[in-house]
Chains A and B, each alone.
Chain A
Amino acid sequence: MRVVASIEINAPPQAVWEFIDEPSRYLGFMSGITRWEVADPEHPRGLGARYRMLMHVGSAEVGGLVEVVEHLPPTDLAWTSIVGIDQRGRWRLRDRGLPHAPRTHVELRLSYGVAGAGFFGWLAERAAAPTVRKHLRRSLQQLKRQVEHEQLRAAAAERRSRRGASQGGSRR
Chain B
Amino acid sequence: MLGAPGTVAASLARRAAAKVAERVPTADLDERDPDVIRDTLPLLWLLATLWFRAEVRGMGNIPDEGPVLLVGNHSGGNMTPDTAVFTLAFSTYFGVERRLHPLAHNLVAAWPMLGFLRKYGLVAASRENARMALRRGGAVLVYPGGDLEVHRPSWQSSRIDFAGRQGYIRLALEEDVPIVPVVAIGGQETALFLSRGDRLARALRLDRLLRLNVLPISLALPWGLNVGDFFGHLPLPAKITIEVLPPINLREEFGPDPDVDEIHEHITHLMQDTLDALAAERRLPVIG
B42 touches A60 (CB 8 A): no
A38 at the interface (CB under 8 A from B): no
CB < 8 Å: which of A59, A114, A120, A125 contacts B89? A59
Q: Which of B49-100 contact A (CB under 8 A)?
A: 49-50, 52-56, 59-60, 85, 88-89, 92-93, 95, 97
List which A73-123 residues lie within 8 A (CB) of chain B: 83-85, 114, 116-118, 120-121, 123
Per the bound structure, the CA–CA distance linking A124 and B40 in Å amounts to 11
B55 nearest CB neighbor, chain A only: A59
Question: Chain B's nearest CB lies how many Å from the CB of A48?
Answer: 20
Whether A59 contacts B42 in the complex (CB less than 8 A), given A64-B95, A84-B95, comes out as no
Contact status A117-B39, CB under 8 Å: yes
Q: Contact at B88–A59, with CB atoms within 8 Å?
A: yes
Residues of B within 8 A of A125 (CB): 42
Give the number of residues in B that approach A within 8 Å (Cβ atoms): 26
Also in contact, A62 and B92, with CB within 8 A (given A116-B39, A118-B39) = yes
User: B49, A123: Cβ atoms under 8 Å?
Assistant: no
Given the complex of chains A and B, what is the CA–CA distance between A78 and B43 in angstroms?
Answer: 29
Is A18 an interface residue when CB atoms closer than 8 A count as contact?
Answer: no
Q: Are B56 and A59 in contact (CB under 8 A)?
A: yes
User: Which secondary structure dominates chain A's binding surface?
Assistant: mixed
Instruction: Flag whether B130 is at the interface (Cβ < 8 A).
Output: no
One digit per residue, 1 when the CB lies within 8 angstroms of any chain A CB and 0 when it does not, for chain B 27-46 equals 00000000100111111011
**What 1/0 flags go to A21-40 for Cβ under 8 Å of B?**
00000000000001100000
A158: interface (CB < 8 Å): no
Asked if A168 is at the interface of the complex by the 8 Å CB criterion, the answer is no
Q: Evaluate contact between A124 and B45: CB separation under 8 angstroms.
A: yes
Residues of B within 8 A of A60 (CB): 45, 48-49, 56, 88-89, 92-93
Chain A residues with CB below 8 A from B39, complex form: 114, 116-118, 121
A10 to chain B, nearest CB (A): 36
B46 near A120 with CB under 8 A, answer: yes
Give Cα A62–Cα B91 distance, bound, in whole angstroms: 9
Establish whether residues A85 and B89, one from each chain, have CB atoms under 8 Å apart when the complex forms: no
The reply to whether A123 and B92 contact each other, CB–CB distance below 8 Å, is no
Residue of A nearest to B93 (CB): A61
A124 adjacent to B93 (CB under 8 Å):
no
Which residues, 99 to 158 on A, are CB-close (under 8 Å) to B?
114, 116-118, 120-121, 123-125, 127-128
Q: How far is the CB of B125 from chain A (nearest CB, A)?
A: 26
Give the complex CA separation of A54 and B89 in angstroms: 11
Known contacts being A61-B89, A61-B92, A127-B50, is A83 close to B45, with CB within 8 Å? Answer: no
Do A114 and B41 form a contact, CB below 8 Å, given A59-B53, A120-B46? yes
Shortest Cβ distance from B59 into chain A, in angstroms?
6
Interface centre among B43, B45, B89, B97 (most CB of A within 10 A): B45
Among A34, A116, A117, A128, the most chain B Cβ lie within 10 Å of the Cβ of: A117
Report the nearest A residue to B242, measured CB to CB.
Answer: A59
In the complex, which of the residues B42, B50, B60 has the most CB atoms of chain A within 10 Å of its own CB atom? B42
Is the CB of A41 closer than 8 A to any CB of chain B? Answer: no
Query: Within the assembled complex, what's the spacing in Å between the Cα atoms of A59 and B45?
Result: 7
- Collect the chain A residues with CB atoms within 8 Å of residue B43's CB: 117, 120, 124
Given contacts A58-B50, A59-B56, A60-B93, 14 further A-B contacts (CB under 8 A): A35-B60, A59-B52, A59-B53, A60-B49, A60-B56, A60-B92, A61-B92, A64-B95, A84-B92, A84-B95, A114-B38, A120-B46, A124-B46, A127-B49
The 5 A-B residue pairs with the shortest CB-CB distance, nearest first, are A58-B49, A124-B42, A59-B48, A59-B54, A120-B43
Q: List 18 A-B contacts (CB under 8 A).
A: A34-B60, A59-B53, A59-B56, A59-B88, A59-B89, A60-B45, A60-B48, A60-B56, A61-B89, A62-B45, A84-B95, A114-B39, A114-B41, A114-B42, A117-B39, A118-B39, A120-B43, A124-B46
